[in-house]
Amino acid sequence: MAIDFQLNGKPASFAGDPETPLLWVLRDHLGLTGTKYGCGVAQCGACTVHLDGKNRRSCVTPVGTIAGKSVTTIEGVTGKTAEAVRAAWVGLDVPQCGFCQSGQGMSAIGLLTAKPKPTDDDIDHAMAGNICRCATYVRIRQAIKDAAGVKGVRA
Amino acid sequence: MSRAGMKLQLQHLGLAALAIAAVALPAAVIARQSAAPVGLQPVSAFAGIADPAARSAAIFTEMGKVLTHPRCLNCHPRTDRPRQGDAMALHNPPVVRGNAKGEGAPGLQCSTCHGPRNVAFANGTGSIPGHPLWHLAPIEMAWQGKSLREICEQLKDRRRNGGKTLAQIHEHNANDTLVGWGWNPGPGRTPAPGTQAQFGALTKAWIDTGAKCPT
């Protein structure tokens, strides 16, 4: 039986094995390759999407568990918070190689949706599960503060 | 899978960079645990202890095999961080208790990764635990690093056990499904000793004999 869900605001469906990770479905079956595969074991954050508006690691999410739910990927994320994050990312030229950045951006938008004015600690705690091999962490943190319009204490 | 195996697999996919960045993989990913399954003695095994108080304390000591098992301790920490695996290493990624309910920090909640049920990793050995209510036990219910006597006293203390009566503690141990996860922890993790039914029966016998604590 096919699994139906919302993807970036439109109906989507997957007719294969319900144990297939959502990440596989997004990239290999539905052609949305903006969401990245990094580790496959919920350690790196590259595969972060929003599930019903909240951050979710798609590599450990069997597609069978999301029937009727709403998935947003980097390709489809919209709204004021997403725009502010995008502008801040461009403004600071955050990415280096860029591989982890779709996950970083989605996590940042998820954080600011849940907590619009985060403290330094809020940012560190929220982003602790997103690894960046180029160590763009300092720019990521600053970009989140810029997007939120907060100053924070630490760099 | 060994850490080297994990690295190789990632290199194979051209992602060596991330493999190196993901420095400290959790214990259960690095080493498959090979501990032999441990049982629990039935309530009848304690019938020979004539003094009810001594019998009660002995039964609690048997319950302690479950209460101090990594499956339970990992989620009942004294700090704001859960632990992982049979070696009880600090949880990786470094998640925190977050809100008062212990559901994690905004943006990185337990439910960012943990789903309604256990999920085997798609690319190797091991699994991520799951339950619809997966969250950290409140700080007043911390058990890590405590003696069995301390855990026992605290289980009976309604200020530190979530306001539960002894009957409710029995109900919780015997039937709560988050407790039950301990016997169904998913691939790569040693289950708690015995069965939840045996643990429930021991809890009842402990209460019926006066709920005494071991010295």
CATH of the domain at A141: 1.10.150.120
Contacts of A137 in chain B (CB under 8 A): none
Let me know whether A90 and A66 are in one domain.
no
Number of domains in chain A: 2
Q: Residue A71: beta bridge partners?
A: A7, A51
Let me know whether A103 and A140 are in one domain.
yes
Let me know whether A84 and A132 are in one domain.
yes
Instruction: Tell me the CA distances in angstroms from A62 to A50, B68, B76, one per residue in order.
Output: 14, 32, 28
Let me know whether A105 and A140 are in one domain.
yes
Partner-chain contact A125 B29, CB within 8 Å: no
Is A57 within 8 Å of chain B by CB? yes
Partner-chain contact B113 A133, CB within 8 Å: no
pLDDT at residue number B22: 41
Note down the domain range covering A15: 2-72
Let me know whether A50 and A17 are in one domain.
yes
Partner-chain contact A111 B109, CB within 8 Å: no
**Cβ(B210)–Cβ(B166) under 8 Å?**
no
**Cβ(A58)–Cβ(A21) under 8 Å?**
yes
Proportion of chain A above pLDDT 70, given as a percent: 99
How far is C-alpha B36 from the chain's CA centre?
Answer: 17
DSSP element (H, E) containing B119: strand B119-120
Is A115 within 8 Å of chain B by CB? yes
DSSP element (H, E) containing B105: strand B104-105
* Residue B23 clears pLDDT 60, i.e. is over it: no
- Total beta-carbon pairs less than 8 A apart between chain A and chain B: 110
Last residue of a domain, one of A72, A106, A127: A72
Last residue of a domain, one of A53, A72, A91: A72
Is B3 within 8 Å of chain A by CB? no
Give a yes or no: residue A24 inside a domain. yes
* Residue A148 clears pLDDT 60, i.e. is over it: yes
Is B89 within 8 Å of chain A by CB? no
Give a yes or no: residue A114 inside a domain. yes
Over residues B145-163, mean pLDDT: 97
Let me know whether A87 and A26 are in one domain.
no
* Residue A17 clears pLDDT 60, i.e. is over it: yes
CA–CA dist B131, B137 (Å, integer): 14
**Cβ(B115)–Cβ(A65) under 8 Å?**
yes
| Angle, in degrees to the nearest 10, between helices B166-175 and B196-208 | 170
Let me know whether A110 and A137 are in one domain.
yes
Chain B neighbours among A 77-96 (CB < 8 Å)? Answer: none
Let me know whether A67 and A84 are in one domain.
no
* Residue B191 clears pLDDT 90, i.e. is over it: yes
Nearest-Cα distance to chain B for A27, in Å, is 15
Give a yes or no: residue A153 inside a domain. no
Higher pLDDT, A152 or A155: A152
pLDDT per position as a tens digit, A27-70: 999 999 999 999 999 999 999 999 999 999 999 999 999 999 99
Minimal-distance CA residue of chain A relative to B20: A133
Let me know whether A66 and A91 are in one domain.
no
* Residue B1 clears pLDDT 60, i.e. is over it: no
Task: Dump strand ranges (E) for chain A.
Answer: 3-7, 10-14, 48-51, 54-57, 70-72
Nearest CA-CA partner of A43 in B4, B88, B32, B113: B113
CA–CA dist B53, B58 (Å, integer): 9
Q: What CATH number does residue A38 fall under? A: 3.10.20.30
pLDDT at residue number B10: 38
CA–CA dist A76, A109 (Å, integer): 12
Last residue of a domain, one of A17, A41, A72: A72
Is B79 within 8 Å of chain A by CB? no
Is B30 within 8 Å of chain A by CB? no
Nearest CA-CA partner of B24 in B74, B92, B102: B92
Chain B neighbours among A 14-53 (CB < 8 Å)? Answer: 21, 24, 37-46, 48
Let me know whether A118 and A67 are in one domain.
no
pLDDT per position as a tens digit, B95-122: 999 988 999 999 999 999 999 999 999 9
CA–CA dist B134, B2 (Å, integer): 28
Is B19 within 8 Å of chain A by CB? yes
CA–CA dist A131, B214 (Å, integer): 46
Give a yes or no: residue A155 inside a domain. no
Let me know whether A12 and A35 are in one domain.
yes
